Chain A
């Protein structure tokens, strides 16, 4: 069975500071891994995904994530956050693009 754990329910970060969101997954084979962002009242938007190749993945809005097979992790990072990055972030894993299991989400608050 596949599953995702996002250990941090809520993170507060200062504007301009770096951000790292943790994601640990459980999956038997090489997974598809995703990070989505959800702004209040909106649907989900894909930030980035990994399915093969370079383990450091670049996404939109200045985000990147690194796939570490040995640690079963796919942490999301951004070097300098902007107030507009305040949102909820979801990590997801699956055998393909659509049969995904999502984590419970991490809410990011950005303080001035």
Chain B
């Protein structure tokens, strides 16, 4: 299916475990993003990527690792999950940024619970 998909949709993991959230887009968009959504905070940018093999930190990168070996995939890894990382994670992609005539398309989110 065309679009941006996240997997899994729901995940429960234990403190200290490594967990990877997947994001796949079929548009060949250059830019991809990871946000976390927490009650009372809105969305906060974790990491973003301008192209394959180019990634950069956002507002809240600590405890997360990303990679982008292929344009269409942008996995987010929690190296050692903590309870504070319990959140809803959104992946997004955009064909162009910085010129005002773009739009970021969001996935449906992954609800992660760390117990």
Contacts and interface: CB of A to CB of B under 8 A. Distances in A.
Contact of B59 (A44, A51, A90, A101): A101
Given A43-B106, A52-B100, A104 B40 contact: yes
Report, as a range, how many residues of chain A touch the other chain: 20 to 34
Interface residues of B, number: 29
A96 B103 CA distance: 11
A51 B100 contact: yes
28 contacts: A4-B42, A41-B108, A43-B90, A44-B90, A44-B92, A45-B106, A46-B104, A90-B43, A92-B43, A96-B97, A96-B98, A97-B94, A97-B97, A97-B100, A97-B102, A97-B104, A98-B97, A98-B104, A99-B45, A99-B48, A100-B45, A101-B42, A102-B41, A103-B42, A104-B39, A104-B41, A104-B42, A105-B42
